[in-house]
């Protein structure tokens, strides 16, 4: 039975003022009504995981992507493997059955799979024209096309096949026991008719795939080719920063962090965690924060940058801390008083 996508409200861009609708737009069953929250209507959700494949912040996850990448990366070097969608009858002895549509594999998960030191990776789809439990692999094909365009030497390892052409090949390395161990290890405890609980997932953090992806990109020439297809940006903050911390509070992934020690403050930025949502820029009232195109050096760096720092002072009127005072008043109070 297909897995149910996990919904993590605290990661959703809309929770902090964003206007992202990627999951609802991609849902083939029209199960997601964002006016009612992130969770899908269990009567309409077909458990395909397409929403997880397009979510840029990991607010929706699906075990297909996680387990497919994890399994392939643990295979012996140069081994071939076949991964089949849930619309394909599981008759091949050594193929891995994925409990969801292939579109649950977004670009980053697909890249992590392709970076594994294995041979040919074949994704097998069923009869998409007759399948009622997916988006006909449209999102998967788009992600694969982007990967092949950016890094043909990596994306070229991935092949696709229909049900009939894939059944003739029986050359993969996974046993039935291995399959059972893989897919029973972390099966959600909730039944398929209700969303799987994700309360334990940390708020404002992307799934750990970005860190692994950065390690993989260090091993290939011109890694910026793939970064151009991944939502990312570099944040710069000017001297007019007031130290209000609004940008860090709005950031849904934790890419921006506000730190204070006594009267001193700093804003730290982890480019790897940024998804270029623009919320930080939107909430910056002084207009001192700006985004620029992604930098591969910043994305690959393990250390954070410090785009802003300074000393906080108290406003004479509201007593709020601010790094920028006008005649002793914070920008808000100065505006009210006409200073």
Domains of the chain: 63-188+203-217 (no CATH), 231-337 (3.30.70.20)
pLDDT at site 2: 58
Which tops the pLDDT comparison, 203 or 286? 286
Which stretch of DSSP H or E encloses residue 253? none
Q: Give the mean model confidence (pLDDT) for residues 23-29.
A: 89
Q: What is the pLDDT of residue 191?
A: 33
- Mean pLDDT, residues 4-33 taken together: 86
Burial of 170 (0-12, 13-18, 19+ CB in 10 A): exposed
8 A C-beta contact, residue 228 and residue 206: no
Two structure tokens written together for 244: 């209000």
Which of 37-41, 138-142, 295-299 comes out lowest in average pLDDT? 37-41
Lowest pLDDT segment from 19-23, 95-99, 272-276: 95-99
pLDDT at res. 138: 87
For residue 1, what pLDDT band results from cuts at 50, 70 and 90? low
pLDDT digits (tens, 9 = 90+) for 164-221: 443 333 333 333 333 333 333 333 322 333 333 333 444 566 767 888 999 999 999 9
Q: What is the mean pLDDT of residues 148-175?
A: 68
Q: Are 256 and 280 in contact (CB under 8 A)?
A: yes
Is the pLDDT higher at 232 or at 207?
232
**pLDDT of 267:** 97
pLDDT score of 283: 92
Band (pLDDT 50/70/90 cuts) for residue 301 is very high
Please tell me the predicted confidence (pLDDT) of residue 204: 63
Comparing 269 with 14, which gets the higher pLDDT? Answer: 269
Judge if pTM exceeds 0.85.
no
- Residue 39 pLDDT greater than 50, yes or no: yes
Calculate mean pLDDT across residues 154-163.
88
pLDDT band at residue 11, thresholds of 50, 70 and 90?
A: confident
What pLDDT does residue 195 have? Answer: 37
CA angle 164, 106, 49 (to 5 degrees): 75
Q: How far apart are CA 198 and CA 270, in angstroms?
A: 24
From residue 19, alpha-carbon distances to 14, 237, 317 in Å are: 6, 23, 35
Whole-number average pLDDT of the chain: 82
Which of the four pLDDT bands, split at 50, 70 and 90, describes residue 90? low
- Higher local confidence (pLDDT), 209 or 108: 108
């Amino acid at each position: 039975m297909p897995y149910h996508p996990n919904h993590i409200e605290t990661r959703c861009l809309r929770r902090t003022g964003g206007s992202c609708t990627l999951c609802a737009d991609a849902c083939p069953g029209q199960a997601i009504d964002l006016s009612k929250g992130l969770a899908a209507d269990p009567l309409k959700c077909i458990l395909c995981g397409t929403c997880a494949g397009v979510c840029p912040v990991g607010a929706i996850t699906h075990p297909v992507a996680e387990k497919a990448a994890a399994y392939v990366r643990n295979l012996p070097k140069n081994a071939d493997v076949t991964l089949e969608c849930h619309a394909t009858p599981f008759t091949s002895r050594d193929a891995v059955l994925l409990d969801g549509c292939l579109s649950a594999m977004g670009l980053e998960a697909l890249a992590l799979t392709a970076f594994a030191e294995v041979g040919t990776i074949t994704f097998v789809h069923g009869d998409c024209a007759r399948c009622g439990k997916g988006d006909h692999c449209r999102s998967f094909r788009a992600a694969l096309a982007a990967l092949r365009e950016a890094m043909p030497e990596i994306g070229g390892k991935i092949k696709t096949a229909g049900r009939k052409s894939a059944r003739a090949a029986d050359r993969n390395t996974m046993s039935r026991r291995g399959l059972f161990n893989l897919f029973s290890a972390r099966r959600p405890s909730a039944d398929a008719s209700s969303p799987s609980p994700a309360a334990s997932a940390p708020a404002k953090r992307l799934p750990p795939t970005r860190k692994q992806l950065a390690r993989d990109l260090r091993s290939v020439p011109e890694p910026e080719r793939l970064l151009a297809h991944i939502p990312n940006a570099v944040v710069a903050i000017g001297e007019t920063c007031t130290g209000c911390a609004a940008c860090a509070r709005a950031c849904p992934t934790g890419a921006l962090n506000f730190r204070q020690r006594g009267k001193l403050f700093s804003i730290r930025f982890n480019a790897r965690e940024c998804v270029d949502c623009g919320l930080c820029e939107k909430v910056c009232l002084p207009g001192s924060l700006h985004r620029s195109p992604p930098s591969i050096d910043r994305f690959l760096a393990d250390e954070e940058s410090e785009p802003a720092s300074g000393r906080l002072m108290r406003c004479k009127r509201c007593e709020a801390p601010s790094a920028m005072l006008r005649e002793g008043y914070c920008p808000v109070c100065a505006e009210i008083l006409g200073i």
